[in-house]
Amino acid sequence: MKKAISILLSVCLLCVLLAGCGGSSGGSAAPAASSGDKVVKIGVFEPTSGQNAAGGKKEILGIEYAHSLYPTVSINGEEYAIELVTADNGSDTAKAPTAAQLLISNDVSVVVGTYGSGCAIAGGEYFAKAKIPAIGTSCTNPQVTLGNDFYFRVCYIDPFQGAVMANYALKEGCRNCVVIVEAGDDYSAGFGNYFSEAMLKEGASCDTVTFQTGETDFSTIMANIKSKGYDGIFAPVSIETAPLIINQAREGGVDCQIMAGDTWDDSSIASRAGANANGVFFSCFFDQTDEANAAGAAFVKGFLEWVNADPARIENNGGKDNGGDVAISSVTPCGYDAYMAAYNAILKAQSTDGAAIRDALAGLEVKDLVTGDLRFDENGDAVKNYVAIKTFQDGSIVFSDAYTG
Amino acid sequence: MSSFSYFLDLFLSGVTVGSLYALIAIGYTMVYGILRLINFAHGDIFMMAGFFMVYLSATLGVAVSIPLVLILTVALGLLIERAAYKPLRSAPRMSVMISAIGVSYLLENLATYLTGGLAKAYPEIPFLKTSYAVGSMTVKTITVVTPLLTLLLVVGLAFFIRHTKIGMAMRAVARDFDTARLMGIRVNGVISVTFIIGSFLAGVGSILYFSNYGQVSPMIGAMPGLKAFVAAVFGGIGSIPGAVLGAFIIGICESFIKANDAIAIFSNAFTFALLIIVLLFKPNGMFGEKLTEKV
Amino acid sequence: MKNTKKRDLILSVALGAAVLLGLTYVDRNMRYSMLASVIQKGSIYALLAVSLNLLNGFTGLFSLGQAGFMLIGAYTYAVLTIPVAQRAGVYQYFNGGALTFALHPVLGLLLAGATAVVFAWLVGKPCLRLKSDYLAIATLGFAEIIRALIQWEAFGPVTNASNILKRFPTFESILTPVLISAGCIALIVLLINSSYGRAFKAIREDEVAAEAMGINLARTKMQAFLTSAFFAGIGGAMLAMFQASVQAKAFTSAMTYEILLIVVIGGIGSVTGSVLGSFLYIACSEWWLRFLDDAQTYLHVNIPFMRGGFRMVVFSVVIMVIVLFYRQGIMGTREFSWQGIVSFFARLGGKSEKKAAKSDG
């Protein structure tokens, strides 16, 4: 019996290793150009598994769509094919370094990503050491770029977002808020902190409640909130926890205003929370119904066509919402813009060397990207003054307001 | 907002969570009583039951799925017992525990692979989703149903163990494995029945738990499983009423701790701290039997 | 009887030199390759596996608290060695944090181990006399308690609560973790081969008999526990140095299970097995088997089940097979010895000779 199993295992292992040798040495690559062509590699540093997988997959779609529009770049008169190398950071700050090393060992010239500030901070240390520039997509925690010369980002940062949300809360009449924060998550803790600070600066009061990762029971927290009579809940938490908080708040008799940040821009929250989510509003990077944004409208049209062409892409985008349409999450344009920033930087640097591309990024200016014009400040953060506020309505996400300051 | 209804809110919340832990804890304590094995995979069986429901009800509808889910859960429990624990029955205790950890690991990774790691929405069971107003509070049906159902099942189980032949066989095997075998008791059968009952209760628990929270995710079984085991140890291994009582105590304490902002983060840690303290003073749990070790 | 000692010594020195040369080459030319990464992480996990093996395999104490000690070691190191200039940036929400000094990395490593020992003493005092199953759950619970404590807002000025710690000194060359690990493992092997180690093994075999022979159970168990915790703390600190960032959320019981599984794969009770198992595990999970997670086209046919997460499923199945059918692991309780390798090849040669003789005759 043992012998049979040993032989079977060895045969399986052999087959599997042979198959592996056929594939690439690690990260998966989009169909590469035939050998002999020049290739420049862009690393895609995103979570495709774990807590943040939903957001990561949507950003990858944005990156892949941009790649389909701009698959080659011209350096010193020669056409270089752009190859995407993906590494999954598993939404885990312990796995992020290995994913980063995977990209570095694959000789990428520039990295795009990630969704989830914790992983960006963890991986960023490696990119800086290997002197490879990275362009953050939707990681909003300031720690990602602070002190790291090689990390840039195309989105706004949490101090800005926190102040905007606090302003909104005060506008809605919430003067006594509570912030629900996930322990161990840089994004959640940081964002909650900035919202809190902004509220306190305006003279309102703001308390914080922390829960452990993986917690599903918020009924006690809600009972606590009800008894203390808060008039606003701010919950910068993950997509998975969001419906739990919304549902248990309403079921527990808590009917104050609920607010959140960019992580809540996901149709699965709308469908799982249903009517309970009506009136909840959150901040995000992009609004697909905004007529004034010409680049945005073009992006929406092209992206929808591209996604609908392949059922696998629809699946990765979160399926279809209640109206039978494909929703565009606001992190997808972030992926698109980050790729475009990388593309333009390579073009400007006219080189595949990481350090040269980094210098090109520092002074880069690109007009009319999906989320607006792009320019980096001295920390590597994008200079953005646009925040879209969206809300849930009967199972779908609807644009509510915009903040431009 | 009266403090009494706040207190009642917390208490009810704790009772609901506690009864869910109780259903899982019974499975742990029964298996440990007979096999001296901490079935680390029990929490994950609970999670798989949730996923069975999600996938079955998508094609078959809720009413048909409930009995099917219970049958599948029992089958899974039996399969694990036959494949992973039975071959190691004569091996040292550490090997079996490692096997249990291995099964738990396998189930979690399998669930992550099949679902892509994201939570899946749990189908709504119409009867359980209603809620009605009592005074100034809204009480969900499920908050009332869960503890009642748990108590019913526990009473039924106690009756089963006290007054049936199989129950007596289970008690005998728990008391002394080898002597029971010498007396002609079919030990394999007894162990199978133990796993059937444990898995059945985990299945029922999963239906109630996931109906309450609305979603299932691959790692969700780990912490409730551990807490249920703590409840079982707390109450005294081998004692079913002890496990149930321990579960309720843990659920209620957890509820009150989570209500306090400053120490809410310690809700999980508290359970373990409680375990360590109890084991210091009563190494066999509150209602455990004193076991003498013979040289 | 040939004098094998001289031969063994020459072979060992030759092997050591070859390994050092190889590592220096990798360090110069492939600093950021997957090979370098696997070497570093493999040696760190080797130390962790050996420290767990010391407790589980050699003393028979089933402890699942390794992640807790690793966490303490990692945080102690990180908190004490972040350069003063960087502190304001890292402790952004706590006004630069409570500490205003930074220690040398070596001192940081030693203190990491020492802090872990202190906590191990606190945990061991009440828990070590529990039965093996209860000890497992108690140590698991302790790891959970430590994690909650570190993430507590009140300790934020020291631990940075929920936020990542970074900017502390990391490995300059890949030789560093390998040498530190090798040194620590050598110490552990010396311990195991001493009278203390024999006392540990006696407890593993039969506690009552050991006590009858005069071994102080409580004290010896505590010695094993503290030693294991010390090296787990150092291992945790090294892990922090490797990752360049550390966060309490990552040190869950899943991490302890990983190390336990490495010990099982290598063979409970074999130091060589733990080292081999660790490198094998890390190489497979981080590098060789990554392709299992990507869609593969084999002869233009898409293999449907290879996607994210498949790698871990394959892993778990392999581990179950090992646990059920190959309970001895790779090495069982045997250790590395030149004599063993020589006789292995001799046996192979002997077999083929015997076969030739048979077919002739």
Collapse the DSSP code of C307 into the 3-class scheme (helix H, G, I; strand E, B; otherwise coil) and give the result. Answer: coil
More confident call, C234 vs B171: C234
User: Taking every pair of C-alpha atoms in chain A, what is the biggest distance, in angstroms?
Assistant: 75
C295 touches chain B (CB under 8 A): no
Residue C134 contacts by C-beta under 8 Å, 6 or more apart in sequence? B233, B279, B283
Subunits close to B (at least 3 CB pairs below 8 A): A, C
Alpha-carbon distance A289 to nearest alpha carbon in chain C (angstroms): 33
> Mean per-residue pLDDT for A240-263?
89
A neighbours by CB contacts (3+ pairs under 8 Å): B, C
Asked if C162 and A184 come within 8 Å (Cβ–Cβ), the reply is: yes
Which string of DSSP letters, residue by residue, matches C112-181?
A: HHHHHHHHHHHHHHHHTTS-HHHHHHHHHHHHHHHHHHHH-GGGHHHH-TTSPEE-S---SSTHHHHHHH
Cβ distance C324 to B88 less than 8 Å, yes or no, reads yes
Is there a contact between A105 and C250 if contact means CB atoms under 8 Å apart? no
- What DSSP designation does B208 have? H
Which residues from C are below 8 Å from A193, CB to CB? 93
A193 touches chain C (CB under 8 A): yes
Domains in chain A: boundaries: 25-156+331-385, 159-284
From the number of C-beta atoms within 10 Å of its C-beta (0-12, 13-18, 19+), residue C104 rates as exposed
Interface test with C, best of B28, B96, B109 (most C CBs within 10 A): B109
Domain boundaries, chain B: 3-281
User: CB of A203 within 8 Å of any CB in chain B?
Assistant: no
Question: Which CATH fold would you assign to the domain B3-281?
Answer: ABC transporter involved in vitamin B12 uptake, BtuC (1.10.3470)
Residues of A in Cβ contact (< 8 Å) with C243: 93-94, 97, 122
* A350 Cβ under 8 Å from any chain C Cβ: no
Judge whether C24 lies within some domain. Answer: no
Query: For the residues of B50-63, what is the DSSP string, one character each?
Result: HHHHHHHHHHH-HH
d(CA B254, CA B247): 10
Q: Within 10 A of C222 (CB to CB), how many other CB atoms are there?
A: 16
From the list C133, C145, C310, the residue facing B269 with the nearest CB is C145
Q: Say if CB C204 and CB C20 are below 8 A apart.
A: no
Contact A108, A85 (CB under 8 A): yes
Q: Which CATH number fits domain A159-284: 3.40.605.10, 3.90.1150.10, 3.40.50.2300, 1.10.10.10?
A: 3.40.50.2300
Q: What is the mean pLDDT of each run of 10 residues along chain C (361 residues)?
A: 77 87 83 85 95 91 92 94 85 80 90 95 88 84 90 84 85 88 94 91 88 90 94 95 88 88 88 92 81 56 62 84 84 76 76 60 43
The answer to whether the CB atoms of C164 and A189 lie below 8 A apart is no
Structural domain span for residue C300 = 34-345
Predicted confidence (pLDDT) per residue in A37-96, tens digit? 789 999 999 998 777 888 888 999 999 999 999 999 888 888 899 999 998 888 888 888
Angle among Cα B276, B278, B284 to the nearest 5 degrees reads 105
Q: Where are the beta strands (DSSP E) in A322-385?
A: 365-369, 372-375
Cα→Cα distances A263→A47, A60, C136, Å? 14, 16, 38
Which pLDDT score, from 0 to 100, does residue B291 have? 53
Chain-chain contact of B230 with C141 (C-beta, under 8 angstroms)? yes
Q: What is the mean pLDDT of residues A373-395?
A: 87
Residue B292 confidence (pLDDT) above 80? no
Q: What CATH number is attached to the domain comprising C116?
A: 1.10.3470
How close is the nearest chain B Cα to the Cα of C156, in Å? Answer: 13
Residue A404 CA to residue C278 CA, distance in Å, equals 54
Q: At A372, phi and psi to the nearest 5?
A: 115, -170
Pick the more confident residue, B214 or A194.
A194
Q: How far apart are CA B64 and CA A163, in angstroms?
A: 51
* Nearest chain B residue to C207, by CA: B295
Chain B nearest C-alpha distance from C145 (Å): 4
Nearest to C245 among A125, A185, A188 (CB): A125
Contact call for A50 and B117, based on CB within 8 A: yes
Tell whether C320 is covered by a domain: yes
Q: Which of A43-47, A145-149, A257-261, C187-191 has the lowest mean pLDDT?
A: A145-149
Q: Give A122 to chain C, closest Cα distance, Å.
A: 6
* CATH no. for A25-156+331-385: 3.40.50.2300
What percent of chain A clears pLDDT 70, i.e. is strictly above it?
A: 89
Q: Residue C64 corresponds to which tokens in the numbers above?
A: 């699942």
B200 against C34, higher pLDDT: B200
| Nearest one of C227, C244, C279, C245 to C66, comparing CA atoms | C227
Strands C245-246 and C165-166 come out as antiparallel
Interface test with B, best of C58, C130, C131, C162 (most B CBs within 10 A): C131
**How far apart (Å, rounded) are the C-alpha atoms in residues B15 and B35?**
30
C244 and A97 in contact by Cβ < 8 A?
Answer: yes
- pLDDT the model gives residue A258: 93
Q: Which of B98, B106, B276 sits opposite C260 (nearest CB)?
A: B98
- Answer whether A368 touches B (CB < 8 Å): no
Nearest-CA distance C243 → chain B (Å): 24
State the DSSP code for C187.
Answer: H
Residue A23 has pLDDT above 80, yes or no: no
Q: Does A103 touch chain C (CB under 8 A)?
A: no
CB proximity C292 to A under 8 Å? yes
**Chain C 200-219, residues with CB within 8 Å of chain B CB atoms:** 208
| Banded pLDDT at A179 (limits 50, 70, 90) | very high
The verdict on A274 touching B (C-beta cutoff 8 Å) is no
Q: What is the predicted pLDDT for the residue at B137?
A: 66
Highest averaged pLDDT of the listed ranges A215-229, B87-101, B189-203: B189-203
pLDDT tens figures, A197-217: 999 998 889 998 888 888 888
Whether the predicted pLDDT of B213 surpasses 50: yes
Q: For residue C103, give how far its alpha carbon lies from the nearest alpha carbon of chain B (Å).
A: 31
Q: What is the DSSP string of B73-88?
A: HHHHHHHHIIIIIGGG
Q: Dihedrals φ, ψ of C97, to 5°?
A: 80, 175
Q: If you count DSSP H runs as helices and E runs as strands, how many of each does chain A have, helices first?
A: 13, 16
Residues from chain A that touch C245, judged by Cβ atoms under 8 A, are 93, 97, 121-122, 125
- Rounded CA separation B27/B154 (Å): 11
DSSP code for C57: I
Q: Do the domains A25-156+331-385 and A159-284 sit in the same CATH topology, yes or no?
A: yes
Band (A7; pLDDT cuts 50, 70, 90): low
| Mean pLDDT calculated for residue range A240-244 | 89
Contact A188 C34 (CB under 8 A): no
A389 contacts A403 by C-beta, under 8 angstroms: yes
Mean pLDDT of A107-131: 90
Best residue of C71, C122, C140, C144 to probe chain B, by most B CBs closer than 10 Å: C144
Nearest chain B alpha carbon to C309: B113
Kindly tell me the number of DSSP H helices and DSSP E strands found in chain C. 15, 4
pLDDT higher at A92 or A339: A339
CA–chain centroid gap for B257, Å, is 22
* Tokens representing residue C172 in the block: 């300059």
What is the pTM assigned to this prediction?
0.87
Amino acid at C153: E
| Cβ neighbours, 10 Å, residue B201 | 25
pLDDT at residue B215, as a whole number: 86
- Measuring CA to CA, how many Å separate B102 from each of B157, C18, C312? 30, 37, 12
Measured distance CA(A383)–CA(A389) in Å, rounded: 19
The full DSSP string for B121-147 is EPPP-GGGG-EEEETTEEEEHHHHHHH
Contact A184 C309 (CB under 8 A): no
In this complex, do A147 and C167 lie within 8 Å of one another by their Cβ atoms?
yes
Which pLDDT score is estimated for B2?
Answer: 65
Whether the upstream peptide bond of residue A114 has omega within 30° of 0, thus cis, is yes
Residues 75-104 on B with a CB inside 8 Å of C are 83-84, 87-88, 91, 93-95, 97-99, 101-103
Between CA A92 and CA A110 the distance in angstroms is 22
A214 touches chain B (CB under 8 A): yes
pLDDT of residue B35: 84
A83 - beta bridge partners?
A41
pLDDT at B232: 87
Residues of A in contact with C294 (CB under 8 A): 23, 27-28
In angstroms, the separation between the Cα of residue B129 and the nearest Cα of chain C is: 34
Per DSSP, the three-state class of C175 is helix
pLDDT score for A2: 60
Count Cβ–Cβ pairs < 8 Å, chain B vs chain C. Answer: 123
Question: How confident is the model at residue C77, as a pLDDT?
Answer: 94
Which of C49, C322, C320 shows the shortest CA–CA distance to B41? C320
Query: Contact B269/C151, CB-based, under 8 Å?
Result: no
Distance CA A62, CA C7 (A): 63
Please tell me the distance from the alpha carbon of residue A75 to that of residue A78, in angstroms, as a whole number.
5
**Is the minimum CB–CB distance between B271 and chain C shorter than 8 Å?**
yes
Determine whether the interchain pair A251/B131 forms a contact, defined as Cβ–Cβ distance below 8 Å.
yes
HSE toward the beta carbon, residue A331, CA cutoff 13 A: 31
Chain B residues within an 8 Å CB radius of C144: 268-269, 272
CA distance B78 to chain C (A): 17
Q: Distance (Å, rounded) from C-alpha C174 to C-alpha C192?
A: 28
Give the pLDDT mean for A325-330: 79
Burial class (CB in 10 A: 0-12, 13-18, 19+), C134: buried
Higher pLDDT: B128 or A228? It is A228
| pLDDT value for A29 | 44
Fill in the DSSP letter of residue A317: T
